[in-house]
Every structure is written in C-alpha cells, then in structure tokens.
Amino acid sequence: MSLAKRIIPCLDVDNGRVVKGVQFVDIRDAGDPVEVARRYDAEGADEITFLDITASSDDRETIVHVVEDVAETVFIPLTVGGGIRTVEDIRRMLNAGADKVAINTAAVFNPDFVSEASDKVGSQCIVVAIDAKQVSKEGEPKRWEIFTHGGRKPTGLDAVEWAKNMVERGAGEILLTSMDRDGTKIGFDLDLTRAIVDAVSVPVIASGGVGNLQHLADGVTKGGADAVLAASIFHFAEYTVGEAKEYMAEQGIEVRRT
Amino acid sequence: MKQKIVVVDYGMGNIHSVVTALEYVTDGQAEVLLTSQPELIQKADRIVFPGQGAAKDCMRELQTLGLDQAVLEVAQQKPFLGICMGLQVLMAHSEENDGVDCLGLYPGEVRHFGEVSEKGERLKIPHMGWNNISQTRLHPLWKNIADNSRFYFVHSYYVDPEDAALTVGECEYGLTFTAAIARDNVFALQCHPEKSAAAGLQLLTNFIEWDGTE
C-alpha cells in the first residue's frame, strides 16, 4: 500500500470536439469530450487532461463549457491546458470545474507568469507543461532544449534547468513531453524523463510516444515518472485504462484498482 | 423542508467542485449553499469546511471575514466536515509560513513531510495522487467504503493531533500520518472526497445522512 502511479488519458479538443478520433463501441458521439471523459472515468482513469488546440481565441469559451459539463458528473481531477496566458484564464478554468491548469508557451515567454499564478491560486493548481527535444549529438552527453510551436521553434533553454526554474517559481507538477517521441508510438524518451524526475522535487507526468502498455510501465519503472499520460492508445480503443492498470500491476507497480 | 448544507467560502482555493459533488449526491433533495456569511453558516443544518492554499492566508481570510469564531461555534454544534485545509486549521498550530496559530479546536501540530522518508527515500512534495486510507476505527462516515480504499490527496503538510484517539484514518507517505479525524459531530479529512470518484462520493453521501454522533 502506497501512493499509486497515475494513468492520465489526454483529450485534444478543437472547438469543443475531441480530435484525433476516439473509438468506443458504446458511446453515441465519439467526438463529444463529455462522453469520452465519462467513459475514461468509468474505466478507472486517475485524472483526465484536456488540451485545447482551438486556433481562434474567440472560440476558447467552448472549452469552458466542456469542463463545466464534465465536472458535473466526473469526480476525479481535471486538468486543462492550451491557451492559458493570464490569471484570469486560470480562474475561468478553475471556476468551470478544473482542478489544475497546464501552462506551456506563456511560461516560456514570461516565466514570471508562473510565479504570479502560483501565488494567486496555489501551486497545487499549476502544472507547467514542458516540450523538450534532444539537441545533443551522437556520442555527446545527452542534452534537451525547450521548443515551442509544436516542436518547431528552439528557445535555447536547457530542459533540466528550465524544469528546476519552473518548480522554484511555484509549479506544483511538471507535464513533460518529448517532442522527438510525440506521435511516434515507440515509447517515452526515458533518459529525458529520468533527468527531469531527478532534477525536481515535484511530481512529473511523462508524455509523448506511448504505443503500448509496456511503454507506460517503462515510464514509471525506468523513467521514474509519477504519472503517465497517453492519448492515442486509449482513443483508438487499443487498450482500456483498466487493461493498462492490470498490466502495470503485474509488473509490481502500485495502481488504483476500481 | 429540505436540509441546508453550507459550504464555507473564505476565498481559499477551488471549492466549486465541493459544491458540485454535494449537489450530485443530494440530487435536489438538499439545498447546497456556498457562503462567507457567519449568520448563514449558523443557520445551516450541516457544514462543509473546505480549503486549499497556505495556512497563513487561510487564517488571515477567516479572521478578516469574521468566520473564525463562527466556524468554531458550529464545529461544536452540527454535523461538520473538514476537507484538506479545513482539517489542518482545526489544529492548534501549523509549521507552515514559519509558524501560524490556527483555530485550535484540537491540540496538535500541522507538520511538513520533509523531502526524505523515514526509510531514507526521496519524497516528492506535494503528496499528490491516490493513496490508501486505513480505517483505524469504525465511524458512520466509513459506511460502505472498503478499508484501504484509495482517495485523492494534494498536500505538503499533515496533521499530528496530540490525542491519538482523534484519528479515524491513516495513510502512508514516507511515514504514517493521520488522514482523517473524528470527534462527536466533527469529521475532517486530508484528502479530497469531491475528487475521489466512488469512494469520495460515498463519504459525502454518508455525511449528508449522518446524525452527528459516532
């Protein structure tokens, strides 16, 4: 008995609809984030993360309604990321029923925002999302940098130093995505995960690259992650959250069974 | 008459989910009211006292709003459920913010986890996620909740009551700490039942059916 490692399904939401396709046989509308979130909750998800990828800021209000609707019937922690730039954005999400917000680009452009946000709403609500890419060459000691714009723009910021900086400023948790692995289905960048986990005192969620259940387990046992986040393996009903937990439990990982 | 459940609002943290969860389990059969008015708190049938954030800020807000006395009064009269900081500030004193005097309903200290466990392992702070609560004695609020069920926690400090008989639930994180206390009409817990799925909803259901005795 001890603290369980968490499994967090992630929904990419564009203008109020789940994108990247979700396939469950028993839900009416696979694009409805409320239905999908309920399904993950029923399967035993430990938290749910919504990533709002809506391009137009005019349409951002839709994610607020999504969170409100989900929070009415789903009683597990909910995180919302994407387009969080001001304390007002954060309050709007928390008032809608979110428990945490993930700050990404806004932290890179203005690190003080993380300090301000954690002062105003408490570190427990502030997740800093880090998109990192390996920049060291073959044979060199490994090094990763922060990238923005979906991994296209380098910032020159060292990922390990950046993570430490964010925690000093009040991040309560780090959501770490390997941009080299995102979408590849070949597994987490475990060296990156381990480097960040060892560098910071707060929980780290590993993300980017999950293609099978062994990858989830490796994120915990080899990467040292406190939680693992995945989208497509759950969306396409390749595996249920319940199956993922069974698999991890068989490998001796503490999980919450429902 | 519908019973009135008051959720004490002192501006500390995200307590909308507490209201939403109470509305869900009462399903229109009770009035759930979020308020910072002492007179409404005194008129309620049941009190839920949540809270997140730093001890110093919580105490300052309670005092500024004139809620410290109101909370202490109802904690001696009506079914009362403390959640997270709503448990911690019931103690006499907290180590947080270089030391803060709390409401002092019970003698005891609120302590920081420290970054190393009793066994010398590194601990991530905050203690965040789903952990087991071992029910150390029977209580009506544990009804239909399996012993060692997992609840959702987010905190860096834990309560250490002087009177060990207050403890009704324990949890392990680097050490064994008190995760829930109960005495007479008061029940208070460190985790978030409003975010603890079925086990948490059952606890809230038990609270709204509770007559305030053990």
Best A41, A256, A257, A258 member to test B by mutation, with max B CBs in 10 Å, is A256
* Distance separating alpha carbons of residues A136 and A160, to the nearest angstrom: 13
In angstroms, what separates the C-alpha of A1 from chain B's closest C-alpha?
A: 7
User: Is it true that domain B3-209 has CATH number 3.40.50.880?
Assistant: yes
The answer to whether the CB of A127 falls within 8 A of the CB of A103 is: yes
- What's the pLDDT score for residue A41? 97
Q: What percent of chain A has pLDDT over 70?
A: 100
- Picking from B153, B172, B200, the nearest residue to A75 by CB comes out as B200
Taking the domains of chain A in order of start, what are their residue ranges?
A: 6-250
Taking the domains of chain B in order of start, what are their residue ranges?
A: 3-209
What confidence tens digit (pLDDT) does each residue in B11-46 have?
Answer: 877 788 999 999 999 999 999 999 999 999 999 999
Average pLDDT over chain A reads 94
Q: Residue A109: exposed, middle, or buried by beta-carbon count in 10 A (0-12, 13-18, 19+)? A: exposed
- What's the pLDDT score for residue B24? 97
User: Catalytic residue at B194?
Assistant: yes
Residue type, B66: G
User: Catalytic residue at A41?
Assistant: no
More confident: A53 or A189: A189
Average pLDDT over chain B reads 95
* Distance separating alpha carbons of residues A244 and A235, to the nearest angstrom: 13
At B49 the three-state DSSP class reads strand
Residue A33's H or E segment, with its range, is helix A33-43
Residue type, A171: A
- Could you say which residues of chain B have pLDDT below 50? none
- What's the pLDDT score for residue A149? 85
* Distance separating alpha carbons of residues A27 and A40, to the nearest angstrom: 11
- Model confidence at A23, pLDDT cuts 50, 70, 90, reads confident
Give chain A positions within 8 Å (CB) of B154: 124, 172
- What's the pLDDT score for residue A237? 82
Would you tell me how many other CB atoms lie within 10 Å of the CB of residue A236? 13
CATH T-level assignment (fold) for domain A6-250: TIM Barrel (3.20.20)
Is it the case that residue A128 has pLDDT exceeding 80? Answer: yes
